[in-house]
Amino acid sequence: MAEVDLEPLPPVFAQVVAAFEAGDQVVVAPGDPTSPPGLGDLPELTELVDAGWHALPTGWVGHETALLPAVWPREHRTWVPDRLPRFVAVSYGADETYLEPSHENPAHERWQLARSARAVGMPPPPHGRLWLLRSPWTDMSVASLLLLLRQVRDDEQLGWEPSGIMKAARRVLAGTEDEAWQRWRGREAEAARAWRGSGAPGRDVDRWVARGLRPDDVRVLTTAVDEGGAGLTVEEGCAWAEVIQGGDGPADVVRRIIGWRKAGLAADAPVGRLATVLWERRPDEVAGWLAAGFTAEDIAAWDAQDLPLALRWRDAGFGVREARRLVLADATLTPEEAEAFDVAGIEPSRRVRWVAAGFPAAEAREWTDVDVVACEARVWRSLGLGPTDARAQRAAGEGGHLPLGFESGWTAMGPDRDDMSFGVADPPGTRGSLAAQQSMQPWGMPGAAHPDYVEPAAETQIDL
């Protein structure tokens, strides 16, 4: 273990932990440059990474490499105490992403790993450690070695358990560095060979190699647009290349990035949010959106679909994300119909639910007056009942937000009443995404049409 003096938990983690303990949500809005904190925010790890060590990922992401330290040369492995708070980023809609405590069960995670270790004759690995590796070779980094190990694991069908990549490591590390280079093939390998001996910073090279880009490709990406390049910084180039992968090779990736930059997308555009647009649209299709004054975030929200419609909603005074959610809730909805909900006193946050359920503003007001929300109103309507029936049931002292005796074939739960979904059928001709998509939902499956729904052999024992 490296000798490190542990500082207090960095504020970026301490604030998240304090929010969780108070039951608060931590919000990360789209376009916010603040990314969820991770391994790189622990000072003791930063110090080791700066010294040439490679930190292995944690949690289920790190399950694949969790047994790797067992076969790594002792002088090239180290660890620090694991004090990393566990949380996940969850999106419940188009507007916000939340950090929540991790749903992983640490005990189950350790059991799974111990089970994998026992299957190959090893003791359960010690827990409570963050492992770091260093390459035993001069020109092949740990990141490149991991790419090679995955290739060997797959070629030799060593299995997807953590022991698979561990076995691959034992076989590769038993040979020489030259043998490893000869064994490695593919786009990443070609990029790594092109960078070999370049003297460029190792971590920067690792990012380019993972994307299959060579020094010449990077030079073009970082050359000014008016000089035939993409005009990106190294950080921006990595972000763009992460999204625009595949194609017919690295030259095609570079060509496509240049095409988007010439179309007017800014170097710091939120390419992660624009991924669908960058894959499914042409630069000339998006240029019209930019000329009309839409931002990259606006284009991402609309998926660059139907510019005249987006202009109509904008001219009516609706925000881009709100308009897009309403159109997804009912593709036939007009801005005038949406404005009627404001006149009826329906909150904008509730409006999209009424629209998706196929209720006009006047009916939504009637149901709201008897304290029935959109998902519940669908139930009453499916039984041929209306607000008058709900009012009569309540006046009789029988209460409840649902009709007496109603039994749903299935019910999808949510954090509040209006996040529920019931197994009911809408009358023929009902507007809204719920009615439009219910015929596509297998009976018994929760309705994904909700406007806020997001789709979702023995080995030698080695002592650690």
- Residue-wise pLDDT tens digits, 128-168: 899 999 999 999 999 999 999 999 999 999 988 889 999 99
- Please list the pLDDT of the chain residue by residue as tens digits (464 residues): 554 566 778 888 888 888 888 888 777 755 444 467 788 888 888 889 999 999 998 877 788 999 999 999 999 999 999 888 888 877 665 556 778 888 778 888 888 888 888 988 889 888 889 999 999 999 999 999 999 999 999 999 998 888 999 999 999 999 999 999 999 999 999 999 999 988 776 788 999 999 999 999 999 999 999 999 999 998 899 999 989 877 778 999 999 999 999 999 999 998 988 999 998 899 999 999 999 999 998 999 999 999 999 999 999 999 999 999 999 999 999 999 999 999 999 999 899 999 999 999 999 999 999 999 999 999 999 999 999 999 999 888 887 888 988 877 666 666 678 778 888 889 999 999 988 876 444 433 333 334 443 333 333 333 34
pTM comes to 0.74
pLDDT given for residue 183 in this prediction: 96
Distance from the Cα of residue 112 to its chain's centroid: 24
pLDDT at residue 91, rounded to an integer? 66
pLDDT at residue number 371? 92
- 170, two tokens: 């034992």
What was the pLDDT predicted at 96? 65
Q: Cα separation of 200 and 352, whole Å?
A: 52
